[in-house]
Amino acid sequence: MSGVEQRVSTVRFVKQRSGIVLAIVAAAVMLGGCARNAPQDTFQPAGENARRINNLQLPVFIIAGVVFAIVLGMVLFIVVRYRDRGQEMPKQTHGKPALEIVLTIIPAIILIGVGIPTVSTVFSLAKTSDTQCVINVTGQQWWWEYEYPVQTCGGVNIAEPIVTSGELVLPTKVHVLLRITSNDVIHSYWIPKLNGKRDAVPGRIHPLRMEADQPGIYAGQCTEFCGLSHARMRMDAVGLYTADFATWVANQLQLAPKPTDAMALRGEDTFRTQCSRCHQVNGLMEENADGTNSDKPVISFPDLYVVAGNAPNLTNLMTRTTFAGATWDLLNDQCRKALHDASPDKFGALYLKGVTPDCFNEADLREWIRNAPAKKPMYSSEAQKAQNGGKYRGMPNLNLTDNQIDEIIAYLLERK
Ligand SMILES: [Cu+2]
């Protein structure tokens, strides 16, 4: 064969077999998604309900796989063995009761075999009567809010309601009831390592049981298309030993003290004028003429500005490790890695340290405060606001000066 002929035949081969080549590439890409230790791997359950789901899907998958292989094998065999070679048409027959009965009974047995464990798993997943704590979960464009009502949770007394965002903190080995709803459109809550999905629907409350075996961070994301920044609506569940959970609760209930640092003190002023109409900081007070705190708390009113009627509570921002729909880190890469790689026994102490100045990822938060919609599209320009009945769908660009941003960051760094 000459070189030219060889090249032509190679080209022909690739052309003829392009379907196969494509299938191999597609399979490789898909299998790549099965990497070990992926943060959202539903096949590595870390809680009771996720384990139930996995224990069901595995045998069902195997049974379905065997049926698939047999049926496909028979089809292929018949296609090849009885292909048209110009032979005479075979004699047509009609009806074969024995075969028909057998081919009805076998699938029926298979379906019953799959159906019984499926139905029983569905019922056990829906069970919430054995839960010991309640957390209200509210989806909105494009972040999750968690509210802990007054209760005793895992033996820990929550004396006042706690409001936080992005990270669902829960005591390990405790059955927690999530009451899921939405403030605007339909979202869906899914932490793959802990449980299946549950839709968040405005005007409805959907229950979902959660529990984590071990301390650690379990990633998730909104799984119902909810508009512009759906892809930036993530969340983490954080498991803590009960003793650490008690410390977390105590931290969350502390009111923000008046800053001592001069820069943070100016930041508090800017926060009052620029941010507090949407964001609540518990403990922030209006000032007297002489700059001391009055006894009037500053109360936010996001319902006037935001479609969802809500914005994240920033009292304890630096006790979280992410912000803006858990999409950006408050921790720098090194500290983030240390936290995510920490053993279950070391995790709690590290998490409870919060974002210390040496661990702080300033760059992303700075960009956010400078121009939030440039970082996360939120349909919040003035023109879009006008189309939206005078409300933003997210945080607008506030056109702050560099100085104001420095001061606000100093102020936010003290929100622990
Ligand atoms: Cu969503």
Q: What is the pLDDT of residues 240-265, one digit of tens each?
A: 999 999 999 999 999 988 998 999 99
Ligand 1 centroid, distance to 199 Cα (angstroms): 10
| Rounded CA separation 388/390 (Å) | 5
pLDDT at residue number 9: 63
**Tens digits of residue pLDDT in 64-119:** 999 999 999 999 999 999 888 888 888 888 889 999 999 999 999 999 999 999 99
**Tens digits of residue pLDDT in 366-393:** 999 999 999 999 988 888 888 888 899 9
Q: Over pLDDT 70: what percentage of the chain?
A: 95
**Tens digits of residue pLDDT in 124-183:** 999 999 999 999 999 999 999 999 999 999 999 999 999 999 999 999 999 999 999 999
Nearest Cα residue to 221 out of 209, 212, 234:
234
Contact in structure between 179 and 7 (CB atoms under 8 Å): no
Ligand 1 centroid, distance to 198 Cα (angstroms): 12
- Residue 258 Cα distances to 111, 283, 287, 293, 410, angstroms: 65, 8, 11, 8, 13
pLDDT at residue number 89: 85
Ligand 1 centroid, distance to 142 Cα (angstroms): 6
Q: What angle do CA 314, 319, 201 make, to 5 degrees?
A: 60
Ligand 1 centroid, distance to 88 Cα (angstroms): 62
Q: Which residues are registered as beta bridge partners of 234?
A: 221
Contact in structure between 245 and 169 (CB atoms under 8 Å): yes
- Delimit the domains of the chain by residue range: 262-413
Contact in structure between 182 and 140 (CB atoms under 8 Å): yes
Nearest Cα residue to 367 out of 325, 337, 336, 324:
324
pLDDT at residue number 381: 85
Ligand 1 centroid, distance to 223 Cα (angstroms): 7
pLDDT at residue number 339: 97
| Rounded CA separation 415/140 (Å) | 23
Ramachandran quadrant class, 154 (left: phi over 0; alpha: psi -120 to 50; beta: rest): left
Ligand 1 centroid, distance to 280 Cα (angstroms): 22
Ligand 1 centroid, distance to 87 Cα (angstroms): 60
Ligand 1 centroid, distance to 99 Cα (angstroms): 51
